[in-house]
A = this chain, B = another copy of it.
Amino acid sequence: MSVNTDFDLIIVGGGPGGYNAAERAGHAGLKTLLIEKETLGGVCLNRGCIPTKTLLAVAKHYHIARDSKEFGVTSENVSIDWSQAYKRKVKTVRALVSGVKTKMKKNGVTVAEGEAKFTAGNTVEVNGEKYAASKIMIATGSRPFIPPIPGADSGKVLTSREILDLKEIPETLAVIGGGVIGMEFASMFAEVGSKVTVIEMLPEIVPSLDREVASLLRERLSKKIDFKLNTKVEKIEDNKILFSSSEGNGSIEADVILMSVGRRPSVENMGFEDIGLDFSPKGIVTDEKMRTNLPGVWAVGDCTGKSLLAHSAYRMGEVAVADMLGRNERMRYNAIPGVIYTNPEAAGAGITEQQAEAEGLDVIIEKLPMQYSGRYLAEYGQEKGFGKVIVDKKTRALLGVHLIGGTCSEIIWGASALIEMEMRVGDVREVIFPHPTVSEIIRETLWEVPAEYENY
């Protein structure tokens, strides 16, 4: 079998890590082959971030249509048609997949659809053809983790993948796992009328969030969602979940059961063992330039097991491409933003209070209710929310920003920029924030830092 050596770079996996890297590589002039086994865009675009945001937008519209009396707006017979929501989801995903294809064309990227298998560090086989290149990028993503609970694999239990295909709103929904994915589905279905129960083994939901943010998020969601914390699922029998907690054993039944206890790197059945790649079920081992142990082979995104987020994958891909081009960039994990698109939204960048504690950092922590923002008050009234900043006591550098309430998902990117640029309290105070916006809460909260810590 002849080997195709037309390409400078072969990327395995067309999700955010892979397709974005292909675009950047093409932009810089590298001849690139992108291999995807299912649909371009990966989980994020086809079965993750994008479809959920489309459905969450539906839930938001339904909520506003029903519940705007306080604003002087009333409606009758508000109804929701989930099959129409589903259609809109399909349309949105289709438009974006087509957008990714256009980007690939524009940047001269060749796309191959098929399953890739490594036959050597620099050789990949797909659809019966072999390709070799001096630069290989592995971006194989991740898949939902199914824990070894009896009945979990019965087929009655859905993952985030299958639940997106529901054409009707379930009357009752049980969500096993109160992380970001589980909570977004829980919030969405509760908003559109499902009776939702969330079962979480830990004492608090969404451990990636700052603990106070997570706590307020749960408090606000508990009006619509039943939470069972510190609760372990023992067994699933058909539509019945049997669980145990310090209060004893119990069970609930639900029309739909969602398993969302995390994701695992996709590293199997691709020949990684045969080529001597350093990897484990926890992911492919990489350095700060996303290099693997094999020369000319980089790995990016979820398959590295580090920061399983689409935007982390984007950046990892860019860092790897920069390295290929001899540019000195490195992957930094200290300012990666995190967003949860529940109602209310929450978002954070930089270290959380619990991380500061765990690392024994000497920090100043300040907090203000969102109601300090005139715009928040105008749009959200007395709905609870807050802004929180974490500042290094010695250097006054901004280390963390955490928000809950309003459209904080769209505000947080600037906080990542500030942290990334190692700005200090005094520097941020000089930035002019538009008034009136919710974003001002960041500046206001930084002004809460006592005068004695100002370093003029």
A3 lies within 8 A of chain B by Cβ: no
**Chain A: interface residue total (CB-CB under 8 A):** 99
How far apart sit A170 and B53, CA to CA, in the bound complex (Å)? 37
Known: A50-B374, A71-B61, A72-B58. A413 touches B431 (CB 8 A): yes
Residue of B nearest to A95 (CB): B377
- Contact yes or no, B24 A447, CB < 8 A: yes
Surface stretch bound by B, among A151-159, A248-256, A267-275, A436-444: A436-444
A176 lies within 8 A of chain B by Cβ: no
Interface residues of A in 357-406 (CB under 8 A from B): 371-372, 374-375, 377-379, 381, 406
- Contact yes or no, B99 A53, CB < 8 A: no
How far apart sit A73 and B54, CA to CA, in the bound complex (Å)? 13
- Contact yes or no, B435 A413, CB < 8 A: no
- Counting every copy of the chain, the complex holds 2
How far apart sit A130 and B439, CA to CA, in the bound complex (Å)? 40
- Contact yes or no, A70 B88, CB < 8 A: yes
Select one of B71, B92, B440 contacting A84, CB under 8 A.
B71
Contact flags A299-311 to B (C-beta < 8 A → 1, else 0): 0000000000111
Contact flags A419-450 to B (C-beta < 8 A → 1, else 0): 01101000111111111111110100001000
How far apart sit A61 and B64, CA to CA, in the bound complex (Å)? 6
Surface stretch bound by B, among A75-83, A114-122, A277-285, A289-297: A75-83
Nearest-Cβ distance from residue A396 to partner chain B, whole angstroms: 14
Select one of B96, B347, B430 contacting A374, CB under 8 A.
B96
A414 lies within 8 A of chain B by Cβ: yes
A202 lies within 8 A of chain B by Cβ: no
- Contact yes or no, A437 B418, CB < 8 A: no
A410 lies within 8 A of chain B by Cβ: yes
- Contact yes or no, A434 B337, CB < 8 A: yes
How far apart sit A409 and B439, CA to CA, in the bound complex (Å)? 9
Residue of B nearest to A54 (CB): B378
Select one of B49, B82, B439 contacting A435, CB under 8 A.
B49
Residues of B with C-beta under 8 A to A99: 371-372
A188 lies within 8 A of chain B by Cβ: no
Surface stretch bound by B, among A134-142, A223-231, A312-320: A312-320
Residues of B with C-beta under 8 A to A314: 432, 435
Residues of B with C-beta under 8 A to A438: 410
A1 lies within 8 A of chain B by Cβ: no
- Contact yes or no, B80 A73, CB < 8 A: yes
How far apart sit A311 and B433, CA to CA, in the bound complex (Å)? 7
Say what secondary structure dominates the interface of chain A.
helix
Residue of B nearest to A69 (CB): B84
A411 lies within 8 A of chain B by Cβ: yes
How far apart sit A327 and B28, CA to CA, in the bound complex (Å)? 45
- Contact yes or no, B72 A65, CB < 8 A: no
Residue of B nearest to A319 (CB): B430
Select one of B23, B88, B423 contacting A71, CB under 8 A.
B88
Residues of B with C-beta under 8 A to A311: 432-435
- Contact yes or no, B435 A409, CB < 8 A: no
- Contact yes or no, B432 A312, CB < 8 A: yes
Residues of B with C-beta under 8 A to A418: 417
- Contact yes or no, A329 B430, CB < 8 A: yes
Select one of B84, B310, B347, B421 contacting A436, CB under 8 A.
B310
How far apart sit A310 and B77, CA to CA, in the bound complex (Å)? 42
Residues of B with C-beta under 8 A to A80: 72-73
21 A-B pairs with CB atoms under 8 Å apart are A16-B435, A49-B374, A49-B435, A53-B379, A61-B73, A62-B73, A70-B88, A71-B84, A71-B88, A73-B78, A73-B80, A77-B77, A92-B374, A99-B371, A311-B433, A335-B431, A338-B434, A406-B410, A413-B434, A413-B439, A421-B421
Residues of A within 8 A of B (CB): 16, 23-24, 27-29, 44-45, 49-50, 53-54, 56-58, 61-62, 64-65, 68, 70-85, 87-88, 92, 95-96, 99, 309-312, 314-315, 318, 325, 327, 329, 335-339, 347, 371-372, 374-375, 377-379, 381, 406-407, 409-418, 420-421, 423, 427-440, 442, 447, 451, 456
